[in-house]
Structure 1
Amino acid sequence: MNNRMTENVIVTRNKLRRDTLISVLDEFDGKMMQLDADKRAEKYRKMSQSAFSFFRGSAYLFYFDATRHYFPYHTPVDRPTWIQGDLHFENFGAFRNESGDIVYDVNDFDEGYVGSYLYDVLRMSVSIALVARQLGYDQAQQLDVLEHYARCYYKQIHRFAHKKDDPGKFVMDEKHASGPVRKLLRKLEKRRQGHFLEKVTAVMQSDRVFLENSELVVPSAHEQQLLEQAWSGYQQTLLCCEDDVNHYNIKDIAIKHGSGTASIGLDRYYVLIEGGTAQQGNDDLVLEVKEVRAPVPAYFLPYSESFWQTFVQQGKRVTTTQQAMHHHADAYLGYMTLDGRDFYVRERSPYKKRLKLEHITDTDCMNKILSVMGSLTAKMHARADSDLSSGILDYHSEREIAKAMGNKPDGFVQHISRWAYGYADQVEKDYALFCDWSSSFQASTAASDSAPIEQ
């Protein structure tokens, strides 16, 4: 093939991929999420920060591609796993659980659904490759950390399947963690309960209220009324309620801006509740009320009638997913409906914290982190089955996954790591196409905003 023909092939392939990319963005951000031009421009500015940011904000593109690719390690269609649905490096973090312990675990369940476990493992693995590239790892180092994650997942699933570990009791606290994760947990043990409260509230005329700034805005009277009317219904969804009827009293409400990438366009509120009366406002609690819609994997994975019959309310789906996957879930985890839209509620933990990339000093340090993440990925897949009273699966997921992966890890580990490395290449190419297109999209949005209004 001569140089001109080669160039034509490359140009055509890029054009076709760019058209696919734009079509998927238009379908999900435009038609499904119904984001207006300003919201789309805001989302795309965040996604333009890095290839990893782009990957975080385009889960639908990942599923569009991955569900069209053959993998030999899927569980049978009639033996799905309850999956997290949007697993990536930054969806792990530290927080305080229902028992008051500070733990490290998966902390985002908005996309929870049923399907092959492999999609969680694949999406997580691609994110590892992208993070490794941000850290400057070469190809050999990237493959090394990818293999390490896949092997840790494989080993932990087999430990659960052979009853060497109990997923119902598996917890990653300071005692069981290592490396940077242990350091993070130790640091948070010293943090005061009021740390976050003091960042977002102030005491005004002897009562505590939210601060007003670019991220916290006073809601309209209609929004305030909707939340107050739905509050008793939310309390009825809690697994365990406080005896003190004043515990859940609303003291203040704020609209929360500036969080997330994929969740742009969905409403989010902070609600300040009494918590207790003994400490004169210092034991107040901040709850987060977040809008949620149908999970992205549902558009691509096999349809489950029983799942949708159980989880018509999307907030219930998210809270049940978290309760199933965590050993001790957030005591304030519940859900509500506001004006026909589904929301879930959780505590905005004062101990919420992610690992920072600058704390990952070398590949050995990275592998210690991935040992934790691989084990936790296996734990959440193994927990969310018939072991739970709320489980919708009548079999043990870990046994089905272990069977699908086979008796020897090498084939599974190599297949996952090589595919993830290759797809990370595709993400970087897509990111370049996206940046070129989104810059013109944002420019046209800015131009329309500044255009004079005709009289």
Structure 2
Amino acid sequence: MLMWAWPQTPVLRGSVAQLARQSNDSEKGRKMAETQTLAERQAAGRHARVHAKRSLHAAIGDTDRDPVQLLRENSAGRVEALVPLRYGRMSVSPFTFYRGSAILQAHDLSSTMHSGIAFPICGDAHLMNFGGFATPERQLVFDLNDFDEVACGPWEWDVKRLAASFAIAGEHMGVHHDSIEDIVSTAMHEYRDRMSRYAECSALELWHEIVTFERMIEVAATAEGRQLINRAMEKAAGRTHENMLGKMAVLTDGRWSIQDAPPAMFHPSGPNSLLGKDRKWSDTDEWKGKLAHAFDGYLQTLSSERRELLAQFELHDIAFKVVGVGSVGTFCLVLLLVDSHGKPLFLQVKEARASVISRYFKGAGPTHQGERVVTGQRLLQAASDSFLGWTMGPAGRQFYFRQLRDMKISAEVERMSTTILQGYARICGWALARAHAKASGRAVEISAYLGNGNRFADALTQYAFAYALQNQKDYDIFMRACRSGKLEARSDEDMAADFRV
């Protein structure tokens, strides 16, 4: 029934194992781990402290760089009209700036020491890139949920991005310094303790480990925390494709069309488009053909039963969607598909660009950026979207597919009390440890490196505050560039006003 049935595009084949393949030293370490006893693996983890003292993780690295220049480089190739919106969203606060400037921290971390244990990491594990979503079995879980920057890298880089995000968010929210210290320390200790438990798990036990909302309720320290988790579960239950349909689309003559809401949502070839005339979006037939070709390539990255499932849907509409903070300006489409019962499926088609991690840490992995995202997500998450896949799109851009929402929820951090924020930090530390343990197969070594004491947590707490200060300096430079006109920054409201009559 699916209307796109053009000839198939060649598929770039790969696997999780390919993405997990590391640099020569790391690969040798993995092979050794397969034959070593647990005692020998623990000894190897402790030995890593010789060249990577845990106290040295307090260093923030080489910050002798021009943040404006790096941000400009990171904006190259994006939709030109949307780059000012990216900067506008980053300008809201030091925390939104941090969310959109992963390239700066990756640059800085590249000059710091690490334990030598590298594998596919999230690459952007700040506190807003965790959340709840439904598994294919409709179970609500908490996990990492953004993998645009996934790449082979030192596991410490993920932990440091998480630690700094709590310090930066806490300062933005006006949380007392001592309380922020407790919050960061809580996340770090939870990561250490969970990694210690995962070091005792078999490979299959790690693969099946999942952080459900029911388990979160069980470990919640306060009644307020349990109540908040229950409310989140109720909210997630209402974020379905059917509930989105009436809010996002209108039915005309038996066909659904997505409503324009520029700059956040618009039709590529419509009067509200921000893509520019040179993109040939106005040539509807030409672009439909190219997108159909890309969709067929995507289908070939799915399992046969998923292809059969999608064959029961018909494409009704396509719109351009502006997402997040750091992703603003990248190509992102929303496909609205409907089955014979009139029930919808929203698919998000998101451009995948080279990871900022791979720019500063060299490791093997798929050359197709969409495949990199999909295989990394499948490796790190406990359970992934049924419709994850990748393709080559128009103009040589590389994309990956996923469902638009499907019970997805994010934490409303700015509305959290200090107590709740500390509980959230604990859950994030847990989820990150689970992801790293599964993806690496090196929980034994990482746990032995961390040890049972406070040295790593203390160093990461110092790092978090030091990097929060560096982030503020970068934010100040960025804001001066915006005010002087060196960079153009526009808010959503400013851009929306351009389309009002």
TM-score, with length taken from structure 2: 0.75
Report the equivalent of 2:289. Answer: 225
Superposition map of 1:401-412 within 5 A? 401-405=446-450, 407-412=451-456
> Is 1:144–2:182 an aligned residue pair?
yes
- 2:66 equivalent among 20, 28, 32: 20
Q: Cα 1:67–1:232, aligned 2, differ >3 Å: closer, same or farther?
A: same
Q: What does the per-residue CA deviation read over 1:21-52, in whole Å, with 9 as the maximum and x for residues that have no partner?
A: 233234333xxx23576544322211111001
Q: What one-letter code is carried by the residue in structure 2 that aligns with 1:82?
A: P
Answer yes or no: is the 8 Å Cα contact 1:117–1:381 preserved in 2: yes
Correspondence for 1:200 among 248, 266, 283: 248
1:342 maps to amino acid: Q
Asked if 1:235 corresponds to 2:299, the answer is yes
Q: Offset at 1:170? A: 2.1
1:244 positional shift: 4.8
Q: Secondary structure at the match of 2:92?
A: coil
Residue 81 of structure 1: how far off its partner (Å): 2.3
Among candidates 476, 480, 497, match of residue 436 of structure 1: 480
Q: 1:128 corresponds to which letter in structure 2?
A: F
Letter in 1 for 2:191: Y
**Which residue identity does 1:184 align to in structure 2?**
A
Q: 437-446 or 426-435: which moved more?
A: 437-446
Q: 1:251 aligns with which of 316, 329, 342?
A: 316
**1:225 is aligned with what amino acid?**
G
Q: In structure 2, what residue type is equivalent to 1:48?
A: S
Whether the aligned pair in 2 keeps the contact of 1:269 and 1:288 (CA below 8 Å) is yes
Partner of 1:356: 412
| Secondary structure in structure 2 of the residue aligned to 1:168 | helix
Which residue does 1:299 correspond to in 2? 359
Per-residue Cα deviation, 1:119-139 (whole angstroms, up to 9, x for no partner) = 000001100111111221121
| Aligned position for 1:13 | none
**Taking structure 1 as reference, are residues 298 and 169 closer, same or farther at Cα in structure 2, changes over 3 Å only?**
same
* Aligned match of 1:49: 92
- Cα distance in 2 for residues equivalent to 1:397 and 1:124: 20
Cα distance in 1 for partners of 2:437, 2:164 equals: 22
1:63 paired to 2:112 = no
Counterpart of 1:114 in structure 2 is 152
- Aligned to 1:85, the other structure's residue is in SS state coil
Q: What is the CA-CA distance between 1:57 and the residue it aligns to? A: 1.1
- In structure 1, C-alpha distance between the alignment counterparts of 2:253 and 2:155, rounded to whole Å: 53
Shift of 1:182: 4.3
Q: Is the 8 A contact 2:353 2:398 kept in 1?
A: yes
Query: Are 1:24 and 1:60, in contact at CA under 8 Å, matched by a contact in 2?
Result: yes
Cα shift at 1:359:
3.8
Q: Check whether the contact 1:104–1:181 (CA below 8 A) recurs between aligned residues.
A: no
Can you list the C-alpha shifts for 1:383-435, whole angstroms capped at 9, x where unaligned? 224xxxxxxxxxx2222322332x22310110111111111111112211211
Q: After superposition, give the CA deviation of every residue in 1:219-265 in whole Å (9 maximum; x if it has no partner).
A: 33133322112222211101341535632432221122x31222223
Listed one character per residue, the Cα deviations across residues 123-177 of structure 1 (whole Å, up to 9, x for unaligned) are 0110011111122112111111000000000111111111289332222223111
- Partner SS, residue 423 of structure 2: helix
Q: Under a length normalisation based on structure 1, what TM-score does the superposition of the two structures give?
A: 0.82
Are 1:271 and 1:288, in contact at CA under 8 Å, matched by a contact in 2?
A: yes
Of 114, 139, 142, the residue aligned with 1:104 is 142
In structure 1, what is the Cα distance between the partners aligned to 2:310 and 2:134?
23
Determine if contact 1:197/1:350 at 8 Å carries over to the other structure.
no
Q: Distance in 2 between matches of 1:296 and 1:17?
A: 16
Alpha carbons 2:86, 2:489 under 8 Å: kept: no
Query: Which of 115, 132, 141 is 1:75 aligned to?
Result: 115
Partner of 2:333: 269
* Counterpart AA for 1:411: R
Residues in 2 aligned to 1:110 and 1:124: alpha-carbon distance in whole angstroms: 16
The AA in structure 2 aligned to 1:330 is: D
Contact 1:143 1:417 in 2 (8 A): yes
Secondary structure class of the residue paired with 2:66: helix
Distance 2:64 2:183 in 1: 30
Q: Quick check: 1:189 aligned with 2:245?
A: no
CA deviations 1:315-339 (Å, max 9, x no partner) are 0110111111222211111011013
Answer whether contact 1:92 1:105 (CA < 8 A) is retained. yes
Q: Which amino acid aligns with 2:413?
A: L
C-alpha distance in structure 1 between counterparts of 2:372 and 2:333, whole Å: 19
Distance in 2 of aligned mates of 1:423 and 1:347: 34
| CA pair 231-443 structure 1, distance change in 2 beyond 3 A | closer
Q: Distance in 2 between matches of 1:379 and 1:151?
A: 14
Is 1:166 the counterpart of 2:205? The answer is: yes
Q: Which residue identity lines up with residue 177 of structure 1 in the other structure?
A: M
- Give the equivalent residue in structure 1 for 2:275: none
Match for 1:213 among 261, 271, 293?
261
Structure 2 residue identity aligned to 1:20: D
Amino acid at match of 1:53: T
Does 2:434 align with 1:379?
A: yes
Inter-CA distance 183–241: structure 2 relative to 1 (3 Å threshold): same
The change in CA–CA distance for 1:151 and 1:229 in structure 2 (over 3 A counts) is same
How many residue pairs get aligned? The number is 401
Moved more, 135-144 or 193-202: 193-202
| Contact map agreement 2:239 2:405 (CA 8 A) in 1 | no
CA contact 1:194–1:350 (8 Å) conserved in 2: no
C-alpha spacing 1:382/1:156, structure 2 compared with 1 (3 Å): same
Structure 2 gaps, min length 5: 1-61, 218-224, 269-280, 491-501
Letter in 1 for 2:115: T
Q: Which residue of 2 aligns with 1:449?
A: none
Shift of 1:193: 4.9
Cα RMSD (Å): 2.4
Taking a change above 3 Å as real, the CA distance of residues 248 and 324 of structure 1, as seen in their structure-2 partners, is farther
Please give the alpha-carbon distance, in whole angstroms, between the structure 2 residues aligned to 1:438 and 1:245.
45
Q: What secondary structure does 1:166 align onto?
A: helix
Note closer, same or farther for the CA distance 1:374–1:338 as it changes in structure 2 (3 Å cut). same
Aligned match for 1:317, one of 365, 372, 381: 372
Residues 177-186 or 375-384, more deviating: 177-186
* Partner in structure 1 of residue 470 of structure 2: 426
With over 3 angstroms needed to count, the CA separation of the structure-2 counterparts of 1:139 and 1:170, relative to structure 1, is: same
RCO higher in structure (CA 8 A, sep ≥6):
2
**Residue 205 and residue 38 in structure 1: after superposition, are their counterparts in 2 closer, same or farther (change >3 A)?**
closer
Q: Write the letter of the residue equivalent to 2:98.
A: F
2:390 to 335, 340, 346: 335
Please tell me the residue identity of whatever aligns with 2:130.
F
